[in-house]
Amino acid sequence: MKKFFLFVACASLFVMGAKAQSVEDLFKAGKAEFDRYDKLFGEFTVANQQNPDAPDATVGERAQALMNGFDLLQKALPLDTIIEYNKDGSPKIDKKTGKPKFKVKYSKDIVGLLSGHINDVLNVGNAGLMSGDFATSYKAFKFFSNLVGSSLTEGVQFDPQTLADVSFYEGYSAYQLKDFDGAYNAFKSAIDKGYTENQVVDFRNSCLANIIQNYCDNKDFGNAIDYVDKAIAGEPSSALMYDMKGYIIEQKDGLDAAEQYYEKAVELDQTFPNGFFDLGRVLYARAEKIIDENQSATNAQLAPMLLPIYDKALPLFKKAKELDVDGSKTPQAARFVDDLEYKLEILRPTK
């Protein structure tokens, strides 16, 4: 996993909204959190210069202070409207709009604090990632992702590669925490933004497999199907997605019901070993059922029923074995090939 350091250029930020109460309290509390962050970061910087190999003991605390500050000041900013009054106590009226005049008291300071700490969100994300504090890095990168596109950052131009990197490392952090749902969404976002490094597609697919497995383990097939159907809708030409749906249907209704999805996987991708292997399993299980239902039958009696199935299944397992060069995806394919070749030799009449 390569190291990365993210920085963004921030334009002036300004948001106006509805009136509320306690703007002064929110501003003071938010500023105090940013002050706490700045103090902690300064102490860390000095300590790191003195001993670069020392563990970063305050990254979690820095992240919490920073995000608290953002939360409080984002709440304060739209509330900073002070109505101007005449000496007689009546509100001053704007002649153009006919509405009461107002001024702001804290907005300039709030905007300065917010825009001045955008990069710090990425700093704590980086620090958490490098120190193995994935809870902190996930929190920071997810926070930054939500910040982008919000009213707070309206008009700010972010580097597209930075945004893609943030999404990937958000997903990577969530993956380490086994938050596969959060990781899947972040990896998908990274891919949508053009990210292609660090086996991002494999990470995304692993997340999807874990999510589906969890649903199936809990017999929650409805949610499993909904999840994979959404994945298929976003990637309709993916053999893997159909193979995963086949797996769900297999757990729910058996191999025969799953056959159409494994067939679709083979149809979509002739280089996908799992599709060939799983379709072969359907046929092999069908033959085993015939044998179980006809235990007193001789080989000669079974041959007409089994040979067509074995003849169709064997090439599928051979193809899976051929495509899976290192045997990591369909390790049992070789065993099925040997077994079927032996059975065909016994059942096939000699000329």
Residue ranges per structural domain of the chain: 1-45+58-156, 159-218, 219-269, 270-351
* Amino acid 306: pLDDT: 96
Proportion of the chain in helix, strand, coil states, percent, rounded to 5? 70, 0, 30
Find where tokens 């334009």 sit. 11
- Model pTM? 0.75
- Cα–Cα distance measured from residue 110 to residue 137, given in angstroms and rounded to the nearest whole number: 25
| pLDDT interval class at 16 (50, 70, 90) | very low
Taking the mean position of all CA atoms in its chain, how far away is CA 45? 32
**Closest among 278, 250, 273 to 262, alpha carbons compared:** 278
Mean pLDDT, range 25-50, rounded to an integer:
89
* Amino acid 1: pLDDT: 55
Q: Which two structure tokens, joined as six digits, stand for 112?
A: 């300065």
> What are 276-322's pLDDT values in tens digits?
999 999 999 999 999 999 999 999 999 999 999 999 999 999 999 99
* Longest pairwise C-alpha distance within the chain: 116
Residue 182: partners with Cβ closer than 8 Å, 6 or more residues away: 138, 142, 170, 171, 174
